[in-house]
Structure formats: C-alpha cells, structure tokens
Amino acid sequence: MRLIDPEIAISLQKAAEIEGFGLALLEKAQGLARVDEIFGFVQRTGERPISFASSSALDGADDRANLYATRFHHFDPVTFERAKTPIGQGSATVILANDIALSDYRQLCFDMPAFKAKYFFGWHSAEGWYVINFYARILNREEERQALLQLSGYGLSIMMSHTLPLATGIDAIATYETRLGRVAPELTPREQQVCARTLAGLDARAIESDLGIGINTVRTYRQRAYRRYGISSANEFLPYVISNRLFS
C-alpha cells in the first residue's frame, strides 16, 4: 500500500484552525481519488449526528447533510456495520447506491446527485462516533480506497482534537465557555457561563452553587439565552457549538 504524504495532516490541521477543514478535506480527497462530496459528523450514542464538515463540488450538499442527520441516518446500511464495532475500534466500508433500500434516502442523497458509492470511515469512541463519508459518482479503485482510508485517519484525528469533549463534567466547562464566546457572541458573559455549565451536564442547582446566584436567576439566564436562538433545550443548543458553522 502506498503511503500518502504526512504533510497532508499538517495542512488539514491548519485549515481546521481557520474554519476551512471541510473544503481542505475535499480538495485533499480529490487529489487522491475520485470524490465529489464529503460529510463528517459527530454522533453521541442514541442521538442524531451533528455535522462537523460538509463540502462538495455539487450543489445541495448542506441540504443532503441535514436530511441525513434529521431523517435518514437510521436507515443507512452502515448503521448495522457500526453496531458490530466495539468501543475503541474503527470501521470502514463501501455503501453502493444499489444497497440503499429506503427510496427517499436513495433518491435524495444518491440518485439526484448521481452518486454511485459512499466510502464510510468511522471511529467508535467511548462518547460516540466520529465519521467521515466520501461520496463519489465513479467507483474508485482499491488503491484509491486505501488512500482515502489513510486520509480519513488524519481527518478523524483532527475532528477529535477540535471537537468539544462529549463527556460531561467540570473539566469541560472552560472549553464550552471559550467556544460559546466564539460561536454565540450575542450571549452576555453570565449567559455564557450558565450555558457552558448546562452543556457540561450541571443541573440548575449545581450551577446555582458554582456561580453563587439564585436558582431562578440561573433559569432566567438559560431561558434568555435559548430564546436568542429560538431553541428550548441544551440538546438543541449543542449543534451551535459543534457544527459546520465552525468547520465548513
């Protein structure tokens, strides 16, 4: 198997730091194989995927990513492959358009963009899955698939290093506060503090104790923050923090 240039990992890392990871990953993939679209996501166990990067040479990539995350991920044939993968191991497989049984999923995400195959690469961590999918209109040769496998290893590592901790706890609070300051600048400092602790898993009583404010005040700050974004819960707020708004 021919090794791909390790400097690709460095360039992808730099791209992630300036919010250009998705486009850079697509360009690198196209230099190695016949790839028309990429979609990377993070998925907590039992929850829907949260987009990390979506980039394409075709129109409608973000719509396809959203449809997959909200409607079709349960029907993806690779779901069964993932179910057999233990924590701490990865999985790689090829899904052909002809393998897709659900008509809407196949029509909207494969037939309309004329994709012949999806090349799936994922890692099963203790918190959930990190996944990179490469979509292609032409089937790739084995050598090209091996190159995508190596590229996905670089990409998944970068995704894991740039994604907020999926585990909860006090150690995650500072990271959430920093990220909220970046992606939710409309929030006041106190709203950021309350939301960061909520995302880290603290309930209102624990936040009251940690910040030294009343429990009703905690709830007021939290509700005020949610209203700014038209949401009602921390689960709805999380995609603002881990999403392709940052990594596109």
Q: In angstroms, what is the C-alpha Rg of the chain?
A: 19
pLDDT, tens digit, for every residue of 41-85?
999 888 889 888 999 999 999 999 999 999 999 889 998 888 889
Identity of the residue numbered 3 = L
Residue 246 pLDDT > 90, yes or no?
Answer: no
- The 3-state secondary structure of 202-239 reads CCHHHHHHHHCCCHHHHHHHHHHHHHHCCCCCHHHHHH
Average pLDDT of 161-181? 75
- Which run of H or E residues covers position 161? helix 142-162
Mean pLDDT estimate for the chain: 88
CB count in 10 Å sphere of residue 113: 18
Question: What local confidence, expressed as pLDDT, does residue 245 receive?
Answer: 42
202 versus 234: the higher-pLDDT residue is 202
Q: What is the pLDDT of residue 243?
A: 56
* CB-count exposure of residue 196 (10 Å: 0-12, 13-18, 19+): buried
Q: Which residues contact 110 (CB under 8 A, 6 or more apart)?
A: 97, 100, 118
- For residue 247, pLDDT over 70 is answered with no
Confidence of residue 248 (pLDDT cuts 50, 70, 90): very low
Domains of the chain: 7-162 (3.30.450.80), 170-241 (1.10.10)
Residue 96 has pLDDT above 90, yes or no: yes
